Amino acid sequence: MNHFKVSKNEQGLLLEFNSYFINVDRAIEEIVKHIKKESDYGGTFELNVILREVFTNAIRHGNQNNPQKKVWVKLFWENGEWQFNIKDEGIGFNPSKEMDQKSDVLTPHGMGLTIISSLGYDLHYNSRDKSLNLIKENNRNNIK
């Protein structure tokens, strides 16, 4: 059974969903809607590209396409930045190693981390809780 849950708290938006690719679109819609409501951030195309890549990787690589496994997303505004925390039920990965191995533009896959970095998002992987943090400075736009 497909599970998709969205909730809000004083810090931001929380999402929890099973590893179905249809949930990627739903999650992105909810996040973009929330960001547009809370700020005048204009980078929705780049945000769509980045979130699609991260959520797809969480489902495909982290959760091994197992629809019983979940992806959790926390979105919050802190210190003038939109911050995302993404967690799946996978065993984790080494982003530095992945960037080194996958930076060949002729490789048909593995460009996600390179694309994310090139669009101005900072990536921080927390090996302790196996979560990925994305941070986008939003200095040209203010939160409403």
Flag whether 10 is in a domain.
yes
Contacts of 118 (CB under 8 A, 6+ apart): none
Flag whether 144 is in a domain.
no
Flag whether 115 is in a domain.
yes
* Nearest Cα residue to 63 out of 87, 82, 31, 39: 87
Task: Look at residue 118 in the predicted model and tell me its pLDDT.
Answer: 81
For residues 114 and 100, give the distance between their C-alpha atoms in angstroms, rounded to a whole number. 10
Flag whether 89 is in a domain.
yes
Q: Which two three-digit tokens encode residue 13?
A: 């938006």
CATH code of the domain in which 111 resides: 3.30.565.10
Domain span at 28: 4-137
Cβ atoms within 10 Å, residue 46: 16
| pTM of the complete model | 0.84
Domains contained in the chain, number = 1
Flag whether 39 is in a domain.
yes
Helices (H) and strands (E) counted in the chain, each on its own, are 4, 6
Flag whether 72 is in a domain.
yes
Alpha-carbon radius of gyration of the chain = 15
For every one of its 144 residues, what pLDDT tens digit does the chain have, with 9 covering 90 and above? 899 999 999 889 999 999 999 999 999 999 999 998 888 777 788 899 999 999 999 999 999 999 999 999 999 988 888 899 999 999 987 666 555 555 555 555 566 777 888 888 888 889 889 899 999 865 444 444
Chain centroid, CA 93 distance in Å:
15
Flag whether 143 is in a domain.
no
Q: What would the DSSP string read from start to end of 13-31?
A: EEEEEES-THHHHHHHHHH
Strand partners, 76: 12, 83
Flag whether 142 is in a domain.
no
